[in-house]
Amino acid sequence: MTAHPPSNQWTLSLIVPVLNEAHSLRRFLDETLEVLLPVVPALEVIFIDDGSTDGTLEILRELSSTYPGARYVSFSRNFGKEAALSAGLQHATGDAVVPMDADLQHPPEAVIDFIDVWRHRGVEVVYGIPASKQAETASKTATSSWFYRLFNKISEVDIPASAGDFRLLDRVVVDTINRLPERNRFMKGIYAWAGFRSEAVIYQQRGRLTGTSRFNYWKLWNFALDGFIGFSTWPLRIWTYIGGIIALSAFVYMAIIITKTLIWGIDTPGYASLMSAVLFFGGMQLLSIGILGEYVARMFSETKRRPLYVVMETDST
């Protein structure tokens, strides 16, 4: 097992997506630095201002000029947390990168546990599991568990339920993710897609420092759709099966009405031929939509241009 990193001189990058968090930023940076500076040889904190309108940017300018390790990237408008995380991963230079929310729901103490596991257990990913979801409402917890179950059934990769963005990623994982050219970035799926060895660490999730969640149900629903559609071609391909089943039963029913007409004669003129035509074409249409879906699915996975595989280790040159 290899220990990460090989030397004692290493850098930790925190990437912090920020949408209208002017009231918590100072406290976030203070607490984080207080906890992490004693244990990390070099620390960089990259804030990604995701189109805030509450003076967040002014505070970020100030913070970055007072603490040399703090930097910021400010978006021209709100592009969403996934885009902010992608920008953070591109800008981070550390040997390990930890995405962290700005509302202090992710305790900096947990990052120390992540680092421990990363340095001593030879894993490239350490993902955080919140000990209790007290900070969330019951309905949010229920819908998210339902989402993970369905996602893991139909997608090409499995994501551990209740693991979020709060995790430690080794440089090799970050480089792998940065190489993905796809534009639709459902980060939880992307972390899972990248692979590598991973281990879970349980942390105590706190309540939000100020304000309320920036995600409402509508945003979460669209987020879930992005996940399903980006990591599964199942919604396209299901029509082949539905079409096949309907076409088959239509043919059977057609055979029955035609036989009945042949044996007992016509009771409603035109019924047998009309019905047969409707059933036949209905079944054929669904089947051909399914076949189109198969091709569209292939085009879809080709256009994502993901690498075919990611190598973790080899002794061939």
Query: Which of Mg ion, ligand UDP, none is residue 81 near (CB under 5 to 8 Å by kind)?
Result: ligand UDP
Is residue 101 near ligand UDP by the rule CB under 6 A? yes
Q: Contact with ligand UDP (CB under 6 A): which of 11, 29, 43, 50?
A: 50
39-66: burial string, b at 16+ Cβ within 10 Å, e else = ebeebbbbbbbbbbeeebbebbeebbee
Q: Based on the shown chain and the rule CB under 6 A, indicate whether residue 215 belongs to the binding site for ligand UDP.
A: yes
Residue 214 lies near ligand UDP (rule: CB under 6 A): yes
Helices (H), 155-265: 171-179, 187-194, 217-231, 234-264
Chosen residue from 21, 44, 103, 170 binding Mg ion by CB under 5 A: 103
Question: Is 193 or 203 the residue whose CB approaches Mg ion more closely?
Answer: 203
Beta bridge partners of 273: none
C-alpha 279/C-alpha 303 separation (Å) is 36
- As to burial, measured by CB atoms within 10 angstroms (0-12 exposed, 13-18 middle, 19+ buried), residue 84 is buried
Strands of 19-104, DSSP E: 42-49, 70-74, 96-99
- From the list ligand UDP, Mg ion, none, pick the one residue 215 interacts with, judged by a Cβ distance below 5 to 8 Å according to partner type: ligand UDP
The smaller minimum CB distance to ligand UDP, of residues 90 and 213, is found at 213
Q: Which stretch binds Mg ion (CB under 5 A): 27-35, 94-102, 139-147, 272-280?
A: 94-102
Q: How far is the CB of 169 from Mg ion (least distance, A)?
A: 20
Give yes or no for residue 205 binding Mg ion (CB under 5 A): no
* Residue 95's binding partner out of ligand UDP, Mg ion, none, with CB under 5 to 8 Å set by partner kind: none
- Shortest Cβ 103–ligand UDP spacing (Å): 5
**Size of the chain in residues:** 317
Q: Is 20 left (phi over 0), alpha (psi -120 to 50) or beta?
A: left
**What's the CA gap between 235 and 148, in Å, rounded?**
16
Non-local (6+) Cβ contacts of 145 within 8 A are 161, 162
Evaluate whether 274 touches 225 at the Cβ level (below 8 Å): no
The reply on whether position 84 binds ligand UDP by CB under 6 A is: yes
Of 13, 56, 105, 205, the one binding Mg ion by CB under 5 A: 105
Footprint on this chain of Mg ion (rule: CB under 5 A): 101, 103, 105
Footprint on this chain of ligand UDP (rule: CB under 6 A): 17-19, 21, 50, 78, 80-81, 84, 101-103, 105, 213-215
